Structure 1
Amino acid sequence: MRRIVAGVHGVLAGLHVWWATGTTWPAADERSLSMAVLGGQASFAPRVVLPLALLHVLLAVAILTSERWKLSRLVVGVLAAGLAARAAAGLVWITGVGTTPAFYWLNLLVYTPICIALCVADLKMLRVRRLKAALVAGPVAVVTVLALIAYVYQPAERPHPAASVDSRYVDTPLARIHYLQRGTGSPVVLLSPGAAPASAWNAELADLARDHAVYAVDLPGQGETRLHDERFTFDLNGMTTALGQFLDALHLPRVALGGNSWSGGWGLAYAQRHPDRVSKLVLLAPSGLDEPDVWSWEILKQPLVGEALAKLAANRSMVESAVRGLFAHQELVTPQLVDSMWIPGTYRDNVRSMYALERGLDWSVTEKALPSTGQPTLVLWGDRDTVLPVAQAARFGKLLPNATVRVLPDCGHALTVDCADRVTPLLSAYLK
């Protein structure tokens, strides 16, 4: 039995070495491979998979020597606990929650049965009966609690805030879209920053309205917008389609388009797909490069864990902590600002969008299209950005053919509020 189990880990080690060469067999690309193997996104770069290959080799050695060495038996015990946790999660995913079609079938027919078999085999190598029970019961209990939070629990929705005098709604096939409108003149559309409401653009809305008809828009999963279609996919296709429907509903054939963070990436993707409808781009610390996010966002890509964390994060104290991390000027983080972020973050669709967008947004598509993105583009970045590294500003400047890049000293990621006094004049001058 030891040789068989060790052989399985040897095969897995070889497979990880194979992936380290750059091949993504049996999938077409790294993203598809990751979604099929893990059910979420992860890198298969050599720096990631080679250590995993070494780990499988060490596990094989520990299994083969577990009869003689206490340390090896300890390793086998830890491995059995991990396999018990993975098997429990696999049994949850067999119900169909939180999975893609490819991962569902692989989990049902391959991953979960193998994990159960390997866990049983590892337990047989251990001698202490009570230890065996604890190695199974503990991980299974943890996974059960996580599954209940992830797939059953729903945070209580907070009451909607009083509507702004600038608030408007328009119904589209996908959603009842909320937006703020002010001013007359050439149209400027500002997309609410990722996980933030349209009111984050209040300062810019007031300033730009002197020369333009300005619309600050909550796309699906943001602010006060409500989905009509529960099958809506939180990915680039879904977000750009929703934006296109908004522009059509308000009869805006051609606009200047701006966004911050995720919404900068959505605006960029829309401009790449519909260049005739976007005259200029304003991108504030935007997504759009095929780079990993900070760990606190990357972890949302993993099934079960992402759902649970997104729901637990719909908590005012956690929201306040996260918001403070976006600001260089902490005095601007007022209770009113925190509430404006927290309250919409408790809505069911908005909670779902947190992990669904993190998994669904494929920024390799936008990065590949950057050299052919012809619109004049203003790129602004804060030098104290803790979410997207300021070094990415230079990459946008290099890849976009018509970009003007400005790095703002002593500014964080939430540029529309944290440094509104410097952002608004730059936008006003650029859009005139």
Structure 2
Amino acid sequence: MTTTPDVTRRRAAAGLLAADAVLHVFWLTGATWPFPDRRALSFAVLGFQAPFTPPVLTGLAVLLLAAAAALWHGQRHITTVVAIAAAAQVPLRVAWAAGFGSHTAGALFWWLNLLLYLPLCTFLAIAARTRRWHWLVPVAVAAAIAATAYFYQPGTDRYPTAEGGSHFVDTRVARFHYLREGEGPPLVLLPGGTASTFAWRPQLQALSAGHTVYVVDLPGQGYTEVHDRHFAYDLPSMEAAISAFLDAEHLTRVDLAGHSWSGGWALSFAQSHPGRVARLVLLASSGLDLPDTPSWELLKLPVIGELATDFAFDHAGVRAAVAELFVHKNLATPAVIEAMWRPLTNRENLRSVYALERGLDWRRTQRRMPATTQPALIVWGAQNTTLPAWQASRFAALMPHTQVHVLDGCGHAITLDCPDQVSALMRTFLS
């Protein structure tokens, strides 16, 4: 019996899928070759961090073997599914090869996508196709999704203006926006995650009597403009940004405070530069190697993360999200919501949300906690639904020099939800 070209291509595709299944069985043994660990393996293969656990790997291996068997024997319906799945990936992988989105996964994934994954998906789509229209629908749908994910811009205020009393300083990394008040030892306050300098306003006023207080937007926040086109939004990059600001302001040694994500950035900087940080204040801080809430974990997925960010951080989405951060709902005022939303109409700030979620590796901070030398004040809200309050005791168990306070009646936005209590604890600790 003569083998037709279509059958030859289909069986070649079946061989590729079977080889991929064997590779997943190999990783099932605990090996991560050719990568050093599971995180690196996940980023290289998928472009984001996924649980390469035995149940996941077993399921993928079985699925790949079943698809290979169906292609080999020419089972029409499964072959069609394989063709559609492969074809749908082509425009997305072309977008990543063009530089849209893949930079958050690292250079290795970009090269592997360009030289290996994109050609293989194209070949599988061609080899498994059974009708011409199978190309058109998935490609069109995937192209529309990619265009929405990487080009849609929510909001209308593309170039928001900074608040009154603002200062700016230029560095190689960014043009930093910051506030400064008071006289005395320098204290640097870093806003949390998607917030900006407004989030520390109560503490800026309360603490400036005894300190020169700086509140600074880091890259991806507020009104800071990133100069470095290849800024990575990972812990080493955020450390470099803090260092660049301190150098620009000629600050050799400071007290450093951070909230949520920025607490983790402050902790990481203190661990890497112990001589530059005298004391740490960590408010509802990141830094433990734990999964985030499901809605934030979703941002790690390519395309899905971009789409979720675009639609979750429009004005209505921000209004709903901010309310969840407060126990005292009356303090989640329209002015607070506006202050949170307006910087997120800047495309770079919006992109930083999913880029940071994918790039921040808290194994690095947790591993170094026992050797963290600075005295640290740990403050948490008991009603925190973003980072549960039990994490405060975990910080205390891992770090040698800590004071821990869990405040009842306070949520995640603790600097604004319980400003007087936070300011009083910081004033006592820093004095």
Aligned to 2:157: 157
Aligned to 1:91: 94
| 1:7 Cα offset (Å) | 4.8
1:82 correspondence with 2:85: yes
Secondary structure of the 2:129 match is helix
Q: Tell me, which stretches of 5 or more residues in structure 2 are unaligned? A: 1-6
**Superimposed CA distance per residue, residues 265-284 of structure 1 (whole angstroms, 9 cap, x where no aligned partner):** 11001101111111111111
In structure 2, what is the Cα distance between the partners aligned to 1:49 and 1:404? 42
Aligned to 2:40: 32
Residue range with higher mean Cα deviation, 360-369 or 324-333: 324-333
Size of the aligned set, in residue pairs, is 419
- What aligned pairs does 1:120-139 form with structure 2 within 5 A after superposition? 120-124=126-130, 129=131, 133=133, 135-139=134-138
Whether the 8 Å contact between 1:76 and 1:122 is mirrored in structure 2 is yes
Aligned to 1:44: 52
Aligned to 1:70: none
Amino acid at match of 1:108: L
In structure 1, what is the Cα distance between the partners aligned to 2:95 and 2:372? 44
Whether the 8 Å contact between 1:382 and 1:390 is mirrored in structure 2 is yes
In structure 2, what is the Cα distance between the partners aligned to 1:123 and 1:303? 26
- Alignment TM-score, normalising by the size of structure 1: 0.88
Aligned to 1:108: 114
| 1:262 Cα offset (Å) | 1.0
In structure 1, what is the Cα distance between the partners aligned to 2:171 and 2:115? 41
Q: Tell me, which stretches of 5 or more residues in structure 1 are unaligned? A: 68-72
Aligned to 1:290: 289
Residue range with higher mean Cα deviation, 182-191 or 260-269: 182-191
| 1:65 Cα offset (Å) | 7.6
In structure 1, what is the Cα distance between the partners aligned to 2:162 and 2:273? 35
In structure 2, what is the Cα distance between the partners aligned to 1:78 and 1:421? 59
Whether the 8 Å contact between 2:44 and 2:108 is mirrored in structure 1 is yes
In structure 1, what is the Cα distance between the partners aligned to 2:190 and 2:267? 11
Say if 1:329 and 1:15 are closer, same or farther in 2 by CA, change over 3 A.
farther
- Structure 1 residue runs of 4 or more that deviate by more than 6 Å after TM superposition: none
Aligned to 1:240: 239
Whether the 8 Å contact between 1:146 and 1:305 is mirrored in structure 2 is no
Identity of aligned residues (%): 48
In structure 1, what is the Cα distance between the partners aligned to 2:145 and 2:274? 44
In structure 1, what is the Cα distance between the partners aligned to 2:410 and 2:82? 45
Whether the 8 Å contact between 1:20 and 1:46 is mirrored in structure 2 is yes
**Superimposed CA distance per residue, residues 12-45 of structure 1 (whole angstroms, 9 cap, x where no aligned partner):** 3332232233321111222322221112222323
Say if 1:105 and 1:239 are closer, same or farther in 2 by CA, change over 3 A.
closer
Secondary structure of the 1:230 match is coil
| 1:184 Cα offset (Å) | 1.8
Say if 1:106 and 1:420 are closer, same or farther in 2 by CA, change over 3 A.
same
Whether the 8 Å contact between 2:177 and 2:217 is mirrored in structure 1 is yes
Matching residue within 118, 121, 125 for 1:119: 125
Aligned to 2:27: 19
Secondary structure of the 2:163 match is coil
- Alignment TM-score, normalising by the size of structure 2: 0.88
Residue range with higher mean Cα deviation, 96-105 or 169-178: 96-105
Aligned to 1:320: 319
1:426 correspondence with 2:425: yes
**Superimposed CA distance per residue, residues 101-152 of structure 1 (whole angstroms, 9 cap, x where no aligned partner):** 322332233222322333344433xxxx5xx72x443322222112223334
Residue range with higher mean Cα deviation, 97-106 or 422-431: 97-106
In structure 2, what is the Cα distance between the partners aligned to 1:31 and 1:178? 34
